Amino acid sequence: MPSTKAKHLRRPHVATGTLALLALLASIAGLAPNCAIAETPALPQIAALLPLSGPHKDLGQAARDGLEWARDALPMPVELIVHDSLGTPEGAAQAVDTLATMHPNLIAIIGPIGQIESAAAAARAMELAIPILLLTSAENSEDATQGVFRLRLSPEAQARALGTFTVHQLNATQAAIFYPDNAYGTTCAQAYAAALLQAGGTLHAIEAYPPRQPNDATAAELLTGKRTRQLTTTSQSPTPKASTQRHKKAQIAFDVLFIPDNASRVVRVLSALKAAGWPTSKIQLLGTSAWLAGSLRGTTAATGALILDICDLQRDQPSRDRYDDFYATFDRPPTELEGQAHDALLVAVSALRRCPRAPSRECLLQALKSGATWPGVCGGFRLNPQGAILRDVFVYEVDDQGRPWPTQ
């Protein structure tokens, strides 16, 4: 009979070092469930909510460039998430919901830009307790108690500063306002007039012109006094009706003229005023930073005009180096919007860095409400108790080539 002895299988010889190596490889491959690899902590997430489509997509792209510009200046690493608000209030509110759902480590939102979409996004962010740093310039959109901050200087703030400047720095007693009949012009005109009167100045004349026809002759002649209004009533029509009477010569009795508009329209406005008898050499022109939106090279009448802005990124130190960095990256100069978007991201990350433990929404909120001075491309700035930006503005004088230069 064949032998029925069991066959004994011999275990192959494996060196001790090889066993250790196999165990290590097995644990790395997940074959040893009791040996886990330590995960890298997730970066805090900051979302940028911008109108990247729709009629305001150019503004959204400009703000996006400003955020990218700030990346190499951040004091700690973060994950930046860019999302399209569609430029509508509905799109902005829905985007806040989407960001909160898809990104559990979301600490804050930057944007949107437009007033209406910013209000919608802020309302939803408050409900979800997400701090939001708006890039709208609309006053009263901020509410620090609810985590809503405004990181752009308002047109009203510039106009008020110019109203005070007229009396205290220019020592002018008579001023006039010539403004476009739109929301921006009306807002600036009202703010300038209030500040001027409060400072002790006198508003001698105020006129509006059609934004689509800034060289309107009637409006220009009404401002210069070459045309005056007359109110008449009749027994058949007791309601006063306005008519105008034209004079041979201008009747100007003011020293300062405030024009809150962009450069292209200012050029046409000055042309109309000149035709209406405006003595360009005797009147001090004032403008907001809107004058920098475009070129003033179409007229010499702007020579000597004084303009307010947050800083001249091309000529002021220490912003000159940052200007060069932006130009090298995007092959164009940065504007005020890119500068303030840059600062919005920088302040958010600088505030996160102050968190003693892990970054959180509550920690960020408390840091932003602390009244601290934050770094910016145009120098340090603060947020007031209501959550609006407080920053210095600077005066620039227009030369005979239409270029602004610092006055100091």
For 66-97, what is each residue's pLDDT tens digit?
A: 999 999 999 999 999 999 999 999 999 999 99
Name the burial class of residue 67, with classes exposed (0-12), middle (13-18) and buried (19+) by CB atoms within 10 angstroms of its CB: buried
Instruction: Find out whether 177 and 194 touch, Cβ atoms under 8 Å.
Output: no
* Mean of per-residue pLDDT scores for the chain: 86
Strand partners, 164: none
Tell me which DSSP letter residue 188 carries: H
The Cα 326–Cα 305 span in angstroms is 28
Q: φ, ψ for residue 7 (rounded to 5)? A: -90, 125
Is the predicted pLDDT of residue 24 greater than 60, yes or no?
A: no
**Exposed e or buried b per residue across 90-104, where buried means at least 16 C-beta atoms within 10 angstroms of its C-beta:** ebbbbbbeebbeebe
Tell whether 355 and 242 lie within a shared domain: no
> Left, alpha or beta for 218 (phi > 0: left; psi -120 to 50: alpha)?
alpha
pTM: 0.80
Tell whether 186 and 299 lie within a shared domain: yes
The Cα 80–Cα 47 span in angstroms is 6
Tell whether 88 and 139 lie within a shared domain: yes
Dihedral (Cα; 374, 313, 303, 253), 10-degree rounding: -20
Say which residue, 312 or 129, is predicted with more confidence: 129
Say which residue, 3 or 139, is predicted with more confidence: 139
Is the predicted pLDDT of residue 99 greater than 60, yes or no?
A: yes
Instruction: Find out whether 44 and 352 touch, Cβ atoms under 8 Å.
Output: yes
- Range name among 185-189, 195-199, 307-311 with the lowest pLDDT average: 307-311
The Cα 3–Cα 40 span in angstroms is 62
406 lies in some domain: no
Q: φ, ψ for residue 396 (rounded to 5)? A: -125, 140
50 lies in some domain: yes
Say which residue, 329 or 321, is predicted with more confidence: 329
Strand partners, 385: none
The count of structural domains within the chain is 2
Is the predicted pLDDT of residue 175 greater than 50, yes or no?
A: yes
Tell whether 179 and 191 lie within a shared domain: yes
pLDDT band at 311 (very low <50, low <70, confident <90, very high): confident
Tell whether 304 and 353 lie within a shared domain: no
Other residues' Cβ atoms within 10 Å of the Cβ of residue 364: 24
Tokens of residue 35, six digits:
């040996």
Tell whether 190 and 299 lie within a shared domain: yes
**Exposed e or buried b per residue across 119-155, where buried means at least 16 C-beta atoms within 10 angstroms of its C-beta:** bbbbbbbbebebbbbbbbbbbebbbbebbbbbbbbbb
Tell whether 292 and 167 lie within a shared domain: yes
Site of tokens 């060196």: 15
The Cα 215–Cα 378 span in angstroms is 35
Other residues' Cβ atoms within 10 Å of the Cβ of residue 394: 17
Tell me which DSSP letter residue 299 carries: -
Instruction: Find out whether 157 and 137 touch, Cβ atoms under 8 Å.
Output: no
125 lies in some domain: yes
Instruction: Find out whether 166 and 201 touch, Cβ atoms under 8 Å.
Output: yes
Q: Please count the residues of the chain.
A: 408
Tell whether 178 and 275 lie within a shared domain: yes
**Domain range holding 128?**
45-152+317-391
CATH number at residue 206: 3.40.50.2300
Tokens of residue 174, six digits:
């008579």
258 lies in some domain: yes
Tell whether 166 and 296 lie within a shared domain: yes
4 lies in some domain: no
Tokens of residue 115, six digits:
């007033």
Tell whether 234 and 268 lie within a shared domain: yes
Tokens of residue 348, six digits:
């958010």
Percentage of residues of the chain with pLDDT beyond 90: 63
Say which residue, 252 or 371, is predicted with more confidence: 371
Longest dimension (CA), the chain: 144
The Cα 17–Cα 15 span in angstroms is 6
Tell whether 268 and 365 lie within a shared domain: no
82 lies in some domain: yes
Tell whether 160 and 132 lie within a shared domain: no
209 lies in some domain: yes
103 lies in some domain: yes
